[in-house]
Amino acid sequence: MGKIAFVFPGQGSQTVGMGKEAAEQNSEMMSYFTKADETLNSSLSKIIFEGPQEELTLTVNAQPALLTTSIALLSLFEKSGIQAGFLAGHSLGEYTALVASGALTFEEGVYAVRKRGEFMEVAVPNGEGTMAAVLGLDRVKLAAACNEVSESGYPVSLANLNCPGQIVISGSRKGVELAGEKAKEAGAKRVISLEVSGPFHSSLMKPAAAELKGVLDGLNMQDAKIPVIANVSAEPMEKAEEIKEKLIEQLFSPVLWEDSVQKMIELGVDTFIEVGPGKVLSGLIKKIDRSVKTYSVSDASSCKDVIEALKEGQL
């Protein structure tokens, strides 16, 4: 029988009201939202449940909000005794995976991603950096275009290698614009500007990474009980010291999502369960390998359905 992997969404999947219905019906789930409020000394749960969307979308709120909602939903699987062979998350989702693995406590995870969000927002003055999705061009050609532009003095690099034919680039506004033009000349089908507050996963995030190191050094990081596939290497990581290093690198390095999914499949995973709002990762996984099973659970009823099916051996 194949292994299960739990995967956790990144920033962009947040929606007002996520987890609200499930938390209102389940006191254990609600306790995570309460703990998040206490840890951050803020009314994060009110923003999650009631909005407004603009406030929830702020990096400093979206990151802890997504981690809290995903871990609350995951608690239903943990209670049922269903365990994963591997864990992974996209960018911010990697922190959720580390909480799920036992490497970080829930409170440490929420605190770390709030600080991470703060550092990311101030690393580059607003409007100076951006990101764009490039469709229909392979990574070698796109990397060459980015290198050429960077050498001319406008930093830009690959940021998210999501699935075949979908790569996000990140860097200075001018660098992303020029690399997008070069990508089209090289055969890209489309270049889509993304509504983001900064050039995430690019060299411009190195100041944020230096700040983040100070926060991570202050946490009581443990070895992971379940291997987590690292964004920056697409390899399993379990040792606390390695996890810390990889989290710092992750801020200014590309997210190797396609490679991470391929690695989990190589390691025997045939069922991916996306825990948290949206279906972004499930969609990417299907584009990477159509033969694996994918499920998205974003509320209590979808969790219950998947848990029952797993227990009956129907998945």
**Tens digit of pLDDT at every position of the chain (315 positions):** 679 999 999 999 999 999 999 999 999 999 999 999 999 999 999 999 999 999 999 999 999 999 999 999 999 999 999 989 999 999 999 999 999 999 999 999 999 999 999 999 899 988 899 999 999 999 999 999 999 999 999 999 999 999 999 999 999 999 999 999 999 999 999 999 998 878 999 999 999 999 999 999 999 999 999 999 999 999 999 999 999 999 999 999 999 999 999 999 999 999 999 999 999 999 999 999 999 999 999 999 999 999 999 888 755
**Lookup: tokens for 250:** 């992750």
The answer to whether 256 touches 241, Cβ cutoff 8 Å, is no
- CA atoms 54, 55, 58, 61: torsion sign: negative
Nearest Cα to Cα of residue 216 among 102, 99, 67, 115: 115
**Residues 6+ positions from 262 with CB-CB distance below 8 Å:** 234, 288, 289
Q: Which domains does the chain have, with CATH numbers?
A: 3-123+204-311 (3.40.366.10), 129-196 (3.30.70.250)
DSSP 103: S
pLDDT at 1: 60
Q: Is the peptide bond before 254 cis (omega within 30 degrees of 0)?
A: no
- SS3 of 101, please? helix
The answer to whether 113 touches 122, Cβ cutoff 8 Å, is no
Residues noted as catalytic: 91, 201
Nearest Cα to Cα of residue 300 among 6, 8, 23: 23
**Residues 6+ positions from 248 with CB-CB distance below 8 Å:** 209, 212, 213, 216
CB atoms within 10 A of CB 124: 22
Reported pTM:
0.96
Nearest Cα to Cα of residue 204 among 249, 255, 160, 170: 170
CB atoms within 10 A of CB 226: 19
pLDDT at 195: 82
**Residues 6+ positions from 273 with CB-CB distance below 8 Å:** 4, 5, 6, 7, 77, 84, 294, 295, 296, 297, 306
